[in-house]
Chains A and B, each alone.
Chain A
């Protein structure tokens, strides 16, 4: 019954590899997000999709590519992983609009070695 679920929860990989993180929400929301949380706990938005269309794309290296096959899924693919990509990545969802609550997944811990 998890509202926002993402897999894998933990991922350890070598520099230069390509990896993907998957996300699904069953709340019926029309907007999904990817956030990155660094070691200092700051949450930074990376991407936002509304009804499968990209509406926010912050300054993120183009090695990161989101894909939304439908409005319930938003996957994150990362090419040529670098040490600095190590972080926790959170998927989230909400309804579009003012003051709407964002619901988060449990996070995916990515470690690049």
Chain B
């Protein structure tokens, strides 16, 4: 069964303290892996799409990487405004439907 697991559920960091969020997936053929950011009271906001193992993408303090089993979202020197829930989703080759993880709630303390 296609599945996405994100860890940790919650992560508290001090401002400037770099870390990584994990998204493990089991899917019969990967079309794409998506990272979104969701602020409280808002809809998910698109960050990155990764299509194949070894691919990396960066945006400001965020860098997403992909292997055949998992993706990492690396956050370098985070700021309080990076606080949000980060969601991962995969699109399987069997259909176009996205399978979502439960998210990691990231809190950056000043």
Please report A residues at the B interface, Cβ cutoff 8 Å.
4, 40-45, 48, 56, 90, 92, 96-99, 101-107
- Taking a contact as CB atoms under 8 Å apart, the answer to whether A98 and B91 are in contact is yes
Scoring B residues 37 to 76 as 1 if CB is less than 8 Å from chain A, else 0, what string do you get? 0100111111001010000000000000000000000000
Contact A43 B91 (CB under 8 A): no
Q: Nearest A residue to B30 by beta-carbon distance?
A: A99
A104 and B43 contact, CB distance less than 8 A: yes
What residues of A have a CB within 8 angstroms of the CB of B100 in the complex? Answer: 42-44
Decide if A96 touches B96 in the complex (CB within 8 Å): yes
Closest 4 pairs (CB-CB, A-B): A104-B43, A99-B32, A43-B100, A98-B31
Contact B96 A97 (CB under 8 A): yes
B positions within 8 Å CB-CB of A: 31-32, 34, 36, 38, 41-46, 49, 51, 85, 87, 89, 91, 96-98, 100, 102-103
Contacts of B34 in A (CB 8 A): 101-102
Contacts of A97 in B (CB 8 A): 96
Q: B interface, by DSSP: helix, strand, loop or mixed?
A: strand
Given the known interface contacts A42-B102, A45-B97, A96-B96, the answer about A101 and B49 at a Cβ–Cβ threshold of 8 Å is yes
When the two chains form the complex, which single residue of B36, B89, B96, B103 contacts A98, counting CB atoms closer than 8 Å?
B96
Give the nearest-CB partner of A42 in chain B.
B102
- The interface residues of chain A, by DSSP majority, are classed as loop
User: Which residues of chain A are near B102, meaning CB under 8 Å?
Assistant: 40-42
Within the complex, the shortest CB–CB distance from B85 to chain A, in Å, comes to: 6
Knowing that A98-B96, A104-B43 are A-B contacts, what are 13 other residue pairs whose CB atoms are under 8 Å apart, sorted by A's residue number?
A: A41-B38, A41-B87, A43-B87, A43-B89, A44-B100, A56-B97, A97-B96, A99-B31, A99-B91, A105-B43, A106-B41, A107-B41, A107-B42
- CB-CB under 8 A from A48, the residues of chain B are 97
B85 near A43: Cβ-Cβ < 8 Å: no
Among candidates A42, A56, A104, residue contacting B44 with C-beta atoms closer than 8 Å: A104
Give the complex CA separation of A42 and B99 in angstroms: 10
